[in-house]
Amino acid sequence: MEHQIFNKFVRFIEARLSPSGEFGLHLTVGLALLLVSGAIFGDLAEDVMGKEEITVLDLQVAHWFHAHAFEPLTSFMLGVSLVHTGYGMAVLVAALGWYFWRVKARYWLLALLVAVPTGALLNVALKYYFQRARPAFDEPLVTLMTYSFPSGHTSAATVFYGLLASYLVIARPHWHVRLGTAAGCSLMVLLVALSRVYLGAHYLSDVLAAMAESVAWLAVCITAISTLRRRREGRTV
């Protein structure tokens, strides 16, 4: 009896780690990312709302960047933020969507069209749930009336570049291309996050929470659509 239970357990683990199958390795990785990033977001949210030590660090970082702002860096950071506003993201999504359509990557196109808009709605819902005020300065570089936690720009960038990196890592066979893609997309997310903190639009914890939130949501979307693709392909075999 114990031997049978052990064999079933081994087969279950092997199935979860198998790169094939609709409930294989992709589902395991997706759930792991969801749990880890969700836990990070929950810890950050709890600390921010409870005014723990991270809020002190938030103020220190915000005032340091504000005190050390200078041109042409300020204009550059404004440009980075502008590209990742609603209109800018619409252009980026349209361009990537056209590419997916052109190369017949239908499931990646579906993932893009699902993940980005719903990720934006999730971010807005979280902003209104937590209702954290933005950083305040006597002479602000930017003035915004919406809530601060989590950062919308950083969230959108994480979803977009995260999905792009996931596609290229899977679609490109060469390791140097995969590593370069992952590094480039990660740098873009960090640059967007830095621009929001530099401009005084968000606290450090806002952008960190946005990254965690969006990784969790991206894991849900990509895993769900990958499972759908594998199930449909399995039915046609």
Q: Catalytic residues, which ones? A: 153, 202
Measured distance CA(188)–CA(84) in Å, rounded: 10
**Could you tell me which of 97, 79, 237 has the C-alpha nearest to residue 160?**
97
**Could you tell me which of 226, 85, 79, 106 has the C-alpha nearest to residue 160?**
85
Measured distance CA(111)–CA(105) in Å, rounded: 10
- 210 DSSP assignment: H
The DSSP element (H or E) to which 32 belongs, if any, is: helix 25-49
Enumerate residues 6+ apart whose C-beta is below 8 A from 35.
Answer: none
